[in-house]
Amino acid sequence: MPFRFYFGEDDLLRCRFAVSPLWETQEAVRTLNRPERHGYHARWLRRIRAAAAGLDLAPLWLLMPRRGHTPDWLGPPPLGPAAGFEEEIAAVRAADPEAALDDTARSLADTPGALESPLGRACLRDPARAIQELADLLEAAWHALIEPDWPRLRTLLEADVAFHSRRLAEVGLGGLLPELDRRFMWTPGTLTVDAKTEHERELRGQGLVLMPSVFSWPDVISGFEPPWQPTLVYPARGIGGLWAEPSDRTPDALVRLLGRGRAAVLTALDEPATTTALAHRLRLAPSSVSAHLAALRDAGLLTSRRYGHQVLYERTPLGMALTSGG
Question: What is the model's pLDDT at position 250?
Answer: 44
Whole-number Å distance between alpha carbons of 266 and 251: 10
Whole-number Å distance between alpha carbons of 67 and 117: 18
Q: Which among 240, 259, 290 is the end of a domain?
A: 240
Q: How does pLDDT run across 57-88, given as a tens digit for each residue? A: 999 999 999 888 889 899 888 877 778 999 99
Q: How does pLDDT run across 228-272, given as a tens digit for each residue? A: 888 999 999 888 778 866 444 446 777 888 888 999 999 888 777
Nearest to 55 by CA among 139, 152, 130: 139
Q: Which among 215, 240, 265 is the end of a domain?
A: 240
- Of the listed ranges 124-128, 153-157, 221-225, the least confidently predicted one is 221-225
269 plus 220 within the same structural domain: no
Nearest to 214 by CA among 267, 136, 161: 161
221 plus 286 within the same structural domain: no
Whole-number Å distance between alpha carbons of 28 and 48: 11
Q: C-alpha distances in angstroms, 298 versus 27, 144, 292, 309?
A: 34, 41, 10, 22
We report the CATH number of the domain holding residue 307 as: 1.10.10.10
Q: Which among 240, 266, 283 is the end of a domain?
A: 240
Question: What is the model's pLDDT at position 124?
Answer: 94
154 plus 42 within the same structural domain: yes
Question: Omega before 218 cis (within 30°)?
Answer: yes
175 plus 270 within the same structural domain: no
Whole-number Å distance between alpha carbons of 108 and 260: 57
23 plus 120 within the same structural domain: yes
List the Cα angle 316/320/323 in 5-degree steps: 135
Question: What is the model's pLDDT at position 325?
Answer: 60
228 plus 262 within the same structural domain: no
Instruction: Name the domain count of the chain.
Output: 2
262 plus 236 within the same structural domain: no
Q: C-alpha distances in angstroms, 275 versus 165, 213, 266, 284, 294?
A: 22, 30, 12, 10, 11
80 plus 126 within the same structural domain: yes
Phi, psi of 68 (to 5 degrees): 135, -155
Confidence of residue 30 (pLDDT cuts 50, 70, 90): very high
265 plus 155 within the same structural domain: no
Q: How does pLDDT run across 4-16, given as a tens digit for each residue? A: 999 998 988 889 9
Q: What is the mean pLDDT of the chain?
A: 87
30 plus 114 within the same structural domain: yes
Range of the domain at 248: 244-324
Q: C-alpha distances in angstroms, 256 versus 178, 190, 251, 263?
A: 38, 50, 9, 9
Confidence of residue 307 (pLDDT cuts 50, 70, 90): low
Helix extents (H) in 2-149: 9-12, 21-32, 42-47, 49-53, 58-62, 85-93, 97-108, 118-125, 127-141
Q: Over pLDDT 90: what percentage of the chain?
A: 45
94 plus 216 within the same structural domain: yes
231 plus 279 within the same structural domain: no
Question: What is the model's pLDDT at position 272?
Answer: 75
Confidence of residue 304 (pLDDT cuts 50, 70, 90): confident
